[in-house]
Amino acid sequence: MEANFLKFAFRIFVFAVGIHSLLADDEKGVVHTSPKEALPLDGSTSDDGSETSTLSVPIRVSLTDLNNRLNALVPNSFHCDGPISVPGANGGSHASFDVSRNAIVLSPSGNGGIVFSANVGVNGYAHYNFWTVHNHTGFNGAATVSGQVNPTIAEDWQIQPNPQVHVDVHQATVHIFNTSVRGLATRMINAAIPGLAAKGAADLNSALGIREKLSSYWSAAFRTVQLSDGPDTFVQFAPRALRLVQPHVTGDGFLESGAAIDCGLSMIVGDRPGDQTPSPLPPPTLVSSVDNAFQVYVPVSISLTDVARELEKRLSEGNIQFGEDAELKVTGITVGSTGNTLLIRVAIEATNTAANSHLEGELTLQGVPVATDNGNKIGFDQIDYTVDSRSELVEIASWLVRPVILEKLGSELRLDLKDQISVANDYVNQELSSRLSSNNLDPSIDIDSLQAKRVLLAGDQLIVCFLVKGTCELNLNL
């Protein structure tokens, strides 16, 4: 009886060894993980819409261009005509003369204003009657018109020149009895200056079109952009405030104004949000200056398929060593999402010679994606196995659960954002250029830094929110 039992036990042993041989990959001691269900794609990171983009844009006009424009706008000559008082003469005495100017010259005043000067020639007649005798006395001379302009922007968005003018008439020595031709010409030229300044200011305001340009920029800033589909993900921009710079002249010879628009940014996952109705251009907050800098947030989406491809490329370049006795080889990666957590399924071959353990199969890690390396890469916080994978490893290869293993895996799980940084860089240049350019505005854009700041999950998309900082000037060609 005992012999028969031993024979039966031996056969069971042989059968068990045979089965083990089939499961152990040709008797090499390989253990396989169990089959896994497909990873979910229901990630959805909440967004509080708190990001604010600020576009601060100095608008600069060179005094040389302004000089040329004014010389084109202001007439080369003008006529003065008005009554004069000649002692002893009958009523109705008057003088008429023409004033012709040379070039107007502008230069910085040193206190934010513009110094101007122009030499003029005077040529005319004084008309007066002594009883029935009509007298016409000719005179000529020269004068210098000079002063300072301190431009300001009024509530109606028009630039007011606020000129302070001095007229110095010289080489006019003719006197008509006790009437000084020099004083006469000075008074009449001074009387003509306000009308000429008003015409020049009106023409200049028409050329600048400050309100029209800012209204266009303000309305265009209300926009909704679709980042991705499956699920549909959108980013929505909404202007909030406007600051406007009072004009002033810089030391390098530019008349500078400018504007700063603060714009909120929010992201929506799901149905496309309704298009916003642009609000009217608000009254500006007038300020002395705005920084020559913009700060804009640019969201760029990456499909989880591309995330998996990049992580697989990074981790499959060589075996990951854990001391002298253990190593892990990654043979494939798939990625899913749930809530604010990215799920990373890793197909591996892991060996620990000291523990005589060899594991092949799939493990699932989870982590919260975050920006790292000064915003140049994405890493993962709270990296760990999922509950199911941890439970399975405890049964078949417990050495892989050790914290040092997770720490090593977490350090290797990095996503390089080089391509996405390039996309954000191009977007900012193209977006600002297209929205700010016009037939007489040339934007000059320089990007100083570009960093990933926030990472959001939306279904099968990972959305990286880049903070882009730089400078932008609008040079106005008159």
- Give me the percent of the chain exceeding a pLDDT of 90: 23
Question: Which of the two residues, 283 and 230, has the higher pLDDT score?
Answer: 283
Taking a C-beta distance cutoff of 8 angstroms, is the pair 457, 420 a contact?
A: no
Identify the helix (H) or strand (E) that includes residue 403. Answer: helix 403-412
Q: What is the mean pLDDT of the chain?
A: 82
Residues 448-457: what's their mean pLDDT? 90
pLDDT band at 386 (very low <50, low <70, confident <90, very high): very high
Q: What is the structure's pLDDT at 307?
A: 95
Range from 11-15, 211-215, 240-244 that averages highest in pLDDT: 240-244
Residues 321-333: what's their mean pLDDT? 89
CA separation, residue 250 to residues 49, 257, 285 (Å)? 38, 10, 21
The C-alpha atoms of residue 200 and residue 104 are separated, in whole angstroms, by 12
- Burial class for 266, CB neighbours closer than 10 Å (0-12, 13-18, 19+): middle
pLDDT band at 395 (very low <50, low <70, confident <90, very high): very high
Taking a C-beta distance cutoff of 8 angstroms, is the pair 56, 292 a contact?
A: yes
pLDDT band at 26 (very low <50, low <70, confident <90, very high): very low
Q: What is the structure's pLDDT at 308?
A: 95
pLDDT band at 337 (very low <50, low <70, confident <90, very high): very high
Residues 412-422: what's their mean pLDDT? 91
Q: What is the structure's pLDDT at 56?
A: 80
Residues 12-21: what's their mean pLDDT? 37
Range from 43-47, 95-99, 146-150 that averages highest in pLDDT: 146-150
Q: What is the structure's pLDDT at 28?
A: 57
Structure tokens at 321: 């060593």
The C-alpha atoms of residue 250 and residue 194 are separated, in whole angstroms, by 26
* pLDDT over threshold 50, residue 377: yes
Question: Which of the two residues, 75 and 118, has the higher pLDDT score?
Answer: 118
Q: What is the structure's pLDDT at 392?
A: 94
Question: Which of the two residues, 5 and 249, has the higher pLDDT score?
Answer: 249
pLDDT digits (tens, 9 = 90+) for 50-92: 678 888 877 888 889 888 988 887 888 888 887 777 776 777 7
Taking a C-beta distance cutoff of 8 angstroms, is the pair 143, 168 a contact?
A: yes
Structure tokens at 213: 């340009």
Q: What does the chain come to in residues?
A: 478
List the single range of 67-71, 294-298, 347-351, 430-434 with lowest mean pLDDT: 430-434
Taking a C-beta distance cutoff of 8 angstroms, is the pair 461, 228 a contact?
A: yes
Residues 277-300: what's their mean pLDDT? 83
Would you list the domain boundaries of the chain? 63-208
Residues 311-330: what's their mean pLDDT? 87
* pLDDT over threshold 60, residue 22: no
The C-alpha atoms of residue 181 and residue 175 are separated, in whole angstroms, by 6
Dihedrals phi, psi of 369, to nearest 5 degrees: -70, 135
DSSP 332-378: EEEEEEEETEEEEEEEEEEEETTTTEEEEEEEEEEEEEEEETTTTEE
* pLDDT over threshold 70, residue 424: yes
List the single range of 14-18, 148-152, 266-270, 409-413 with lowest mean pLDDT: 14-18
Residues 418-434: what's their mean pLDDT? 87
Structure tokens at 375: 């915003």
The C-alpha atoms of residue 60 and residue 40 are separated, in whole angstroms, by 54
Question: Which of the two residues, 397 and 74, has the higher pLDDT score?
Answer: 397
* pLDDT over threshold 90, residue 433: no
Taking a C-beta distance cutoff of 8 angstroms, is the pair 408, 320 a contact?
A: yes
Q: What is the structure's pLDDT at 180?
A: 65
Question: Which of the two residues, 308 and 299, has the higher pLDDT score?
Answer: 308
* pLDDT over threshold 90, residue 38: yes
